[in-house]
Amino acid sequence: MKQLITLIVNNKAYEIAVAPNRTLTQVLREDLDLIGTKEGCGIGDCGACAVIMDGRPVNSCLVLAIQANGSEITTIEGIAEGQKLHPVQQAFIEHGAIQCGFCTPGMIISGKSLLDRKPKPTELEIREAISGNLCRCTGYQKIVEAIKAASQTMKK
């Protein structure tokens, strides 16, 4: 039986009928066409599906859509302010923190979420914050550098 749920995604309210076994990843990608959220494993190992739910980063593949009922969700599509990129996004571009790009949305979500909680993190804190986001391409160094650079440019 489908259930009607309410989600606020990127500041926009949606009413969606979902089957109880559908994950938040599936609903975001398939019902709302927010394909920036990626699925790399489906079981919470890789972090490619990370979104911010009620202020905290979560692996959306481990959240059932009905569990998210009433929640506020921010996906990679909701990070920029119109055409103006978020400082973490801008820093990823300038510091070469992107290769294949498949982990990038989740990485940016984790990086932004860290800076929201802790505007001036240490390198170890950055590494811990993205340790649930796997990247096979970059060796992480430029991602860490980008988040560090964003923390320096962001006003808080």
Partner 1 sequence: MKEFTVINTRLPRVDAYAKVTGSARYAADLSMPNMLYGALLQSPYAHAKILHIDTSKAKKLIGVKDIVTAKEAGVIKYGVSPARYDETLFCDKKVRYIGDEIAAVAAVDFETALEAVSLIKVDYEPLPVVLNVFDAIKEGAPVIHDDFPNNICAEVHQEFGNVEEGFKQSDYIRTDKFVNKKQDGAFLEPQACVAVFDLNGNLTLYTSTQVPHYVQRTVSMVLNIPIGKVRVVQPYVGGGFGPKASANTLELSACLLSMRTGRPVKMVFTREQVFLHSRGRHQFYHELTTGVKKDGTIMALKNTCYLDGGAYSSFGIATVYYAGSLLGAPYKLANMKYDGYRVYTNKPACGAQRGHGGVAARAAWEQQLDIIAEELGIDPIDFRLKNVREKGEVTCNDFNLSSFGMKECLEAIRERSDWKNKKGKLPKGKGIGMACGFFVSGAGYPIYRSETYHSTAMIKLSEDGGTVDLFTPAAEIGQGSDTILSMIAAEALGVRLEDVKIHSGDTDCGVDLGAYSSRQTLMSGHAVKQAAESVKQQVLEVLANKLNIPVEDMDIKNGLIIFKKGPVDCSALKSSYVKEHRGWVSLPPESHLTFQEAARIAYLEKGVIVGGGAYKPGELGGKYKGATVGTSPAYGCSAQIVEVTVDLETGKVTVDSMTDAHDCGFAINRMNVEGQMQGSLSMGLGEALFEEVKFDSKGKIENPTLGEYRIPTALDMPNVNTIIVESNEPNGPFGAKEVGEGAIMPTIPAILNAIYDATGVRINELPITAERVYNALQEKKKQK
User: Could you list the residues that contact partner 1 (CB under 8 A)?
Assistant: 29, 34-46, 48, 75-77, 79-80, 85, 89-90, 92-96, 98-105, 108, 126-128, 130-144
In terms of CB distance, is 65 or 70 closer to partner 1? 65
Integer Cα distance of 133 and 7 in angstroms: 24
Q: Between vectors from CA 39 to CA 1 and to CA 80, what angle results, nearest 5°?
A: 100
Render 94-151 in DSSP notation, one character per residue.
HTT--SS-SSHHHHHHHHHHHHHH-SS--HHHHHHHTTTS--SSS-SHHHHHHHHHHH
Residue 40 CB, nearest distance to partner 1 (Å)?
5
CA distance 11 to 29: 17
* Smallest separation, CB 103 to partner 1 (Å): 5
Nearest residue (CB) to partner 1, 5 versus 146:
146
CB 136, min distance to partner 1, A: 5
- The one-letter amino acid code at 127 reads R
| 27/95 with CB nearer partner 1 | 95
CB 72 → partner 1: shortest distance, Å? 18
Q: Which is nearer to partner 1, 117 or 136 (CB)?
A: 136
Q: Minimum distance between the CB of residue 60 and partner 1, rounded to whole angstroms?
A: 13
Residue 7 vs 39, nearer CB to partner 1: 39
Q: What are phi and psi of 26, to 5 degrees?
A: -60, -45
Distance, in Å, from the CA atom of 119 to the CA atom of 115, rounded to the nearest integer, reads: 4
